[in-house]
Structure 1
Amino acid sequence: MSKLRFVNCLLISTAICFFLPSIAARGGHSDYIYPGDGNSSFHVTARNLFAQEETRPSLELTRGYMTNDDLEKAMKDFTKRCSKISRLYSIGKSVNGFPLWVIEISDRPGEIEAEPAFKYIGNVHGDEPVGRELLLRLANWICDNYNKDPLAQMIVENVHLHIMPSLNPDGFSIRKRNNANNVDLNRDFPDQFFSFNEDLSLRQPETMAVMTWLRDIRFTASATLHGGALVANFPWDGTEDKRKYYYACPDDETFRFLARIYSKSHRNMSLSKEFEEGITNGASWYPIYGGMQDWNYIHGGCFELTLEISDNKWPRASELPTIWDYNRKSMLNLVASLVKTGVHGRIFSLDQGKPLPGLVVVKGINYTVKAHQRYADYHRLLAPGQKYEGLMFFPHIQLKIRVIMFVSV
């Protein structure tokens, strides 16, 4: 039996706050219609679950936003300008055939490394375009500051950051929430409680593209950018009995920690009068089913937040620079949390020096993190300030090892 050597990196997490002139939050509201008080009948017959279609914004309001063609050109221009630290690729196409473009930012883009990966997705809902604008600004900021800002340099050198400004270009082009098939993409993923959309033939191409993406790339964490409120939302998004209440996932404490990183780094999200600390459990706010967030955590091994970054879904373009200023540190700090917190390491055999892929489990948390098959690196996000007892399983050699993990503030 091979002797094992563990290389652990136990790191500290901090959320960096910054100060800008205040902006009045207008108090966004959910477009969810709650189906009842928990005692009424609940019968799922549609894939477009609980999404209320809203009036389309006027063409005048869209002035100043990038069109899909503008966005595509801007992304191609970006990867030419920042070719040393980026690449452009597509994970598939929308219903109407528009490529789902992604920018990867790293000191070794396109290569597999023993580093955590983070993804940002914007414009999941076609009538929530702020995320696509902010994500391109994020890419450009990192490119412009890579050689002079320590945070930008740390992200480029220690994380593979993947940025998809628009998952729903078809919905954006017609200024509507759903995709070209009139399906809400954030209700189209397999759900842990209800099997209403298990038929692969009915799943949307944008949804399938994301699911395939997570099979190809092992993401440690991610976030989707939405609009209509100002809050950092975390799992679970739904409940077993369809009622509205706080329903915690196994890593609830870690998710709360990650949500607070975003909220406290934001100019005024943490000051919310509606959401304590500017964060919320999804099911406590309003339950949804078939959401991307829960699917990422369950099936993708990826800790995902749903970030409501603008209380107005489609603000005037003149407001975008201010919204960017208020979210910039939050967006950067959330990515940086992948290397600033938790337990990271690689597993080798002492006799041959070969990586040994395995499973990492933390006592008291019913969730398994897989080490990479090729490099045997693992990235286990954990809330700081505690001592954890971990177990490493190696099914192929039938071995289990107990490990003490310290994650300090």
Structure 2
Amino acid sequence: MDFACLWLALLLPLVAALDFRYHHQEGMEEFLKSVAQNYSSITHLHSIGKSVEGRNLWVLVVGRFPKEHRVGIPEFKYVANMHGDETVGRELLLHLIDYLVTRHGKDLEITNLINSTRIHIMPSMNPDGFEAVWKPDCYYSNGRENYNQYDLNRNFPDAFEYNNVSRQPETQAVMKWLKSETFVLSANLHGGALVASYPFDNGAPVNQMVLVCLSNVATGTSHSRSLTPDDDVFQHLAHTYASRNPNMTKPDQCKNKMNFHNGVTNGYSWYPLQGGMQDYNYVWAQCFEITLELSCCKYPREEKLPYFWNDNKVSLIEYIKQVHLGIKGQVFDQNRNPLPNVIVEVQDRKHICPFKTNKYGEYYLLLLPGSYEINVTVPGHEPHLTKVVIPEKSQHFSALKKDFVLPFQGQLGSLPIPNPSCPMIPLYKMSPSHSATTKPSLFLFLLTLLHIFFK
């Protein structure tokens, strides 16, 4: 009898099945610590900081080398619940963790994904806000903001306008976290709509008269799009997620709210937003991030959670795979020493904060299949241009690998290089030469005026 019980115990899962209910801080911590203990070879649990009320901001890392970055393995992240009353994403990420660790070694696709990607998952960026909500509500509660009543998705530096707000502990923790890792791709999970929204969330307004006119228009669709140099990639990323969610692409899912074509929108086109996290990721951290609105109701009843998981499971996995788009590699000197802080960008899509190699000389560029001219530049020296063709069919869980050897001897540290970081100012507003694609188009502005005056 004892032998049979022993075998039965060995056959049972290491972690009890995660139930579909809302997990408050204590229950969430219990689950995360259990996963970290029972799947220690592929997970690492750590806190990136504390909330205003002292709650840990937990991140669980899943990967073949969960405790440290390895050259050639891209860093991916999901962040949820930065608005404390938008709760679906929080639970979805807990179920995603459960799905990944329990299928590792059993499901070939999941195993390959984990072995080739370092996946960081933060179920709650605003645990104080979540705990402040006293009952579920579809629209708004005082748990949206953090304990100090700041909206965390308006709390980051902005590339277009001065955002002179007090940086909150949760925001500061995320900004520090972004500096500590070479994040390539990310998504933040929200609620209140069904749409995948891509940068920019803010833009350079034409003039004050435009703002006055636009404020008189009933819907946000009258705003022009505010596009990044990588708009093709961002649209692909948003469509990748939305197209695999059976409800996100359907019209009129959220009654009395905006409809989005194919479940996708440019953030600025929906409504301008100052100090958002996705724009900060892209401009200052070289990390492509989109915003996922996953439920019409911000805080739905618990019995709805299994349906949200079924709708989003495939999208969540498929989106992680996109971190392997494009091209990656290292930049070396003539002696094969890795060169940090070298600019590596596509020639015709320069970023206002140039994308640079990390301390290992690594770079990652998310690109769709096609032909590109890669510009590798040490500041103060002539650029090194190389044509690269990214094939239609990407390599198995890996971007195209391309290393560059520059005609330098010795470490780049001996070369004159400016501060690799970008200043925390509204870069696009201050720079007269910024891309015209970031400005609302004159054509759409004229259409807006016609709509206002002749409706």
Same fold per superposition (TM over 0.5): yes
Are the structure 2 counterparts of residues 64 and 146 from structure 1 closer, same or farther at C-alpha, using a change threshold of 3 Å? closer
Q: Does 1:319 align with 2:304?
A: yes
Which structure shows the bigger proportion of residues in strand conformation? Answer: 1
Q: Is 2:346 the partner of 1:346? A: no
Please give the per-residue CA displacement for 1:15-36, whole angstroms capped at 9, x wherever unaligned: xxxxxxxxxxxxxxxxxxxxxx
1:403 and 1:234 map into 2 onto residues whose CA distance is 29
For residue 272 of structure 1, the aligned residue among 244, 247, 251 is 251
- Tell me how far 1:359 sits from its aligned partner: 1.6
1:73 is aligned to 2:45: no
**Distance (Å, rounded) in 2 between the aligned partners of 1:399 and 1:159:** 34
Residue aligning to 1:239:
203
Larger Rg belongs to = 2
Question: 1:338-384: CA deviations, max 9, x gaps?
Answer: 11x211122334x533222322111221223222212x221100123
Residues 1:407 and 2:374 aligned together? no
Question: In 2, Cα distance between the equivalents of 1:119 and 1:248?
Answer: 23
Distance 1:403 1:163 in 2: 36
Deviates more, 1:313-322 or 1:226-235: 313-322
Q: Which moved more, 1:351-360 or 1:254-263?
A: 351-360
> Is 1:248 paired with 2:223?
no
In structure 1, the partner of 2:43 is 86
TM-superposed CA distance for 1:193, in Å, is 2.0
Indicate the percent of aligned positions where both proteins have the same amino acid.
Answer: 41
2:90 equivalent in structure 1: 132
Corresponding residue for 2:66?
109
Q: Which digits, 9 at most, give the CA deviation of each residue in 1:157-176, with x for residues without a partner?
A: 11111000000000000111
Cα distance between partner residues in 1 of 2:251 and 2:314: 18
Query: Which of 210, 214, 222 is residue 174 of structure 2 equivalent to?
Result: 210
- Separation of aligned partners in 2, 1:195 and 1:353: 42
What is the Cα deviation at residue 403 of structure 1?
1.3
Structure 2 matches for 1:297-336, cutoff 5 A?
297-336=282-321
Query: What whole-Å deviation, never above 9, does each CA across 1:249-282 have from its counterpart, x for those lacking one?
Result: 1111110011111111222222335111211000
Deviations 1:91-141 (A, max 9, x none): 100000001000011111111211210111010101001111110111111
Is 2:86 aligned against 1:144? no
Q: Which amino acid aligns with 1:347?
A: V
How far has the Cα of 1:246 moved from its partner?
1.1
Unpaired segments ≥5 residues, structure 1: 1-62
Higher helix share: 2
- Alignment partners' CA distance in 1, 2:204 and 2:383: 33
How far did residue 399 of structure 1 move? 4.8
Secondary structure of 2:49's match? Answer: strand
Deviation at 1:148, TM superposition (A): 2.1
Q: Does 1:194 align with 2:165?
A: no
What are the Cα deviations for residues 176-199 of structure 1, in whole angstroms up to 9, with x where unaligned? 1100001100000011222132x6
Question: Structure 1: how far apart are the matches of 2:236 and 2:383?
Answer: 29
- In structure 2, which of residues 109, 112, 135 is the aligned counterpart of residue 154 of structure 1? 112
After TM superposition, list the pairs within 5 Å mapping 1:369-384 onto structure 2: 369-374=355-360, 376-384=361-369
Residue type of the alignment partner of 1:188? N
**Deviant stretches of 4+, over 3 Å:** none
Say whether the 8 Å CA contact 1:123–1:167 is kept in structure 2. Answer: yes
Unaligned runs of 5+ in 2: 1-19, 134-142, 206-210, 215-222, 253-258, 393-455
- What's the C-alpha RMSD, in Å, of the aligned pairs? 1.6
What's the offset of the Cα at 1:214? Answer: 0.7
Distance in 2 of aligned mates of 1:110 and 1:399: 38
- Tell me, what secondary structure is at the counterpart of 2:310? helix
Equivalenced residue count is 339
What does residue 372 of structure 2 align with? Answer: 388
Letter paired with 1:133: E
Cα distance in 2 for residues equivalent to 1:336 and 1:151: 10
Whether the 8 Å CA contact 2:345–2:365 is kept in 1: the answer is no
TM-score by length of 1: 0.80
Residue 182 of structure 1 is matched in structure 2 by 149
Verify the 8 A CA contact 1:247 1:281 in the aligned structure 2.
yes
- The question of whether the paired residues in 2 share the 8 Å contact of 1:151 and 1:336 is answered with no
1:316-347 residue CA offsets vs partner (Å, 9 max, x unmatched):
111111111111111111111111x2111223
**Distance in structure 2 (CA, Å) of the matches to 1:101 and 1:272:** 36
Partner Cα separation in structure 1 for residue 251 and residue 173 of structure 2 = 35
- The answer for the alignment partner of 1:356 in structure 2 is 339
